[in-house]
Amino acid sequence: MGKILLAGGAGYIGGHTAVELLEAGYDVVIVDNYSNSSPEAVRRIEEITGKSVTTYELDIKDTDKLENVFKDNDISAVIHFAGLKAVGESVAKPVMYYRNNIDTTLSLLECMSKYGVHNIIFSSSATVYGEENPVPYTEEMKRGTCTNPYGWTKVMMEQILEDASKADAELSVVLLRYFNPIGAHPSGRMGEDPQGIPNNLMPYVSQVAVGRREKLTIFGKDYDTPDGTCRRDYIHVVDLAKGHVKAVDYVFGHKGVEVFNLGTGTPYSVTEIVDTFEKVNGVPVPHVYGERRPGDLPESYANADKALRVLGWKTEKTLADMCRDSWNWQKNNPNGYNK
Ligand code: NAD
Ligand code: UFG
């Protein structure tokens, strides 16, 4: 078997997936431009696994440069993590988001076609279910209306991959719709390292706990949910990474497009996250309640039955594990990979 190309493999989810793939015996190649990550993340992957990783620093939109990776390596499958992912920034800079996220996908598909690589796994998102679908989301639901350009890039890329698969009977496409990844590697050596002010809940909570930010603002407490705050399907990043190993096993024996939700199926509210974090870690997370954040849905959670039935995958870690590992990463690396 050839190597698995991890596009955006130095990032939060790609890095954890690299570790799980290497530990399962797969050979990987990482391609990343470090626009939202750092070479130090690759060093940590090598440290945790004791294996060295072939890495290319390049912009995946640059098809000519990307081609060299396919020329130099025997690639048997691609996992496409590379993308910009900040919802608010995508509203302010839609063209940059469409350019980066769509062009990386097209560039990868062109190289795959030229070099006879037939297998691709794509990092999609629960956001493609949009505003219309009722929770819990199941894979056969139609993609809905997104509230921001980031979400639309995911909808468009799913469509592009479906069209590519219709035109090429050899192609095997797996669309993984992630719910809300949080947590970190239990070693405390790898985790999420957002640049600037975090947009997402768990990095914000951790940075408040470590004293980098004064307090958390909980966005809205008047939603139609049990405690009035939004509920999400938080999934430990290591469980998510293990889902990719199962998807790699699956993608080789399959043709056409298959979609999987990767979530736990159990929603937790913002308040439950804060309470669990404080309790498990014994640290206070000062917080206040503020206005709703535009575009937030009251609830988003998966029906995760298909991944269990078809891939034999389900999550193993608890919310307490997620909070403990996020804090373990944050307190040992208060400034992320910049030490
Ligand atoms: P991340 O930003 O940590 O990782 C993405 C990586 O891609 C980064 O290392 C970045 O430097 C790289 N990259 C971006 N554009 C590139 C380009 N043009 N060329 C080369 N490298 C490029 O994000 P993540 O949280 O690991 O997310 C991975 C994927 O999963 C993304 O596509 C994201 O949209 C998707 N996703 C993430 C979440 C989440 O909450 N983290 C949820 C659903 C889906
Ligand atoms: N939240 C706060 N305060 C904060 C940050 C977040 O109260 O400072 C709340 C949000 O309002 C939301 C919950 O915490 O209710 C989770 O917010 P995140 O930003 O962590 O996650 P989202 O569910 O909004 O977004 C995630 C991914 C996106 C994806 C989206 C829909 O980050 O990539 O799910 O699938 F598009």
Mind spelling out the 3-state secondary structure of the chain?
CCEEEEECCCCHHHHHHHHHHHHCCCCEEEEECCCCCCHHHHHHHHHHHCCCCEEEECCCCCHHHHHHHHHHCCEEEEEECCCCCCHHHHHHCHHHHHHHHHHHHHHHHHHHHHCCCCEEEEEEEHHHHCCCCCCCECCCCCCCCCCCHHHHHHHHHHHHHHHHHHHCCCCEEEEEEECEEECCCCCCCCCCCCCCCCCCHHHHHHHHHCCCCCCEEEECCCCCCCCCCCEECEEEHHHHHHHHHHHHHHHCCCCEEEEEEECCCCCEEHHHHHHHHHHHHCCCCCEEEECCCCCCCCEECECCHHHHHHHCCCCCCCHHHHHHHHHHHHHHCCCHHHC
Closest C-alpha to 246, from 230, 231, 258, 233: 258
CB of 276 closer than 6 angstroms to any ligand 1 atom: no
CB of 219 closer than 6 angstroms to any ligand 2 atom: yes
Burial annotation 71-101 (CB, 10 A radius, 16+ → b, else e):
eebebbbbbbbbbbbbbebbeeeeeebbebb
Ligand 2: residue of 137, 141, 201 to mutate (most ligand atoms within 8 A of CB) is: 201
Ligand 2: residue of 178, 270, 287, 297 to mutate (most ligand atoms within 8 A of CB) is: 270
Q: Which residues contact 316 (CB under 8 A, 6 or more apart)?
A: 239
Q: Which two tokens stand for residue 141?
A: 């639901």
The Cα–Cα gap between 190 and 48 comes to 9
Q: Give catalytic status of residue 150 as yes or no.
A: yes
Q: Point out the ligand nearest to the CA of residue 108.
A: 1
CB of 151 closer than 6 angstroms to any ligand 2 atom: yes
CB of 270 closer than 6 angstroms to any ligand 2 atom: yes
Question: Ligand 2 centre and the CA of 200: distance in Å?
Answer: 5
Please give the C-alpha separations between residue 209 and each of 183, 191, 270, in angstroms, as whole numbers. Answer: 15, 16, 15
Q: How many Cβ atoms sit within 10 Å of the Cβ of residue 134?
A: 9
13 CA: nearest ligand 1 atom = 26
What is residue 1's predicted lDDT score, i.e. its pLDDT?
86
> Which residue ranges of the chain lie beneath pLDDT 70?
339
Instruction: Please state the pTM of the whole predicted model.
Output: 0.98
Closest C-alpha to 45, from 79, 69, 16: 16
What is residue 229's predicted lDDT score, i.e. its pLDDT?
98
Question: Ligand 1 centre and the CA of 8: distance in Å?
Answer: 6
Question: From the candidates 150, 223, 250, 301, which is the catalytic residue?
Answer: 150
Question: Ligand 2 centre and the CA of 184: distance in Å?
Answer: 17
Ligand 1: residue of 30, 32, 128 to mutate (most ligand atoms within 8 A of CB) is: 32
Question: Ligand 2 centre and the CA of 201: distance in Å?
Answer: 6
Predicted confidence (pLDDT) per residue in 228-273, tens digit:
999 999 999 999 999 999 999 999 999 999 999 999 999 999 999 9
What is residue 339's predicted lDDT score, i.e. its pLDDT?
64
Question: Ligand 1 centre and the CA of 80: distance in Å?
Answer: 9
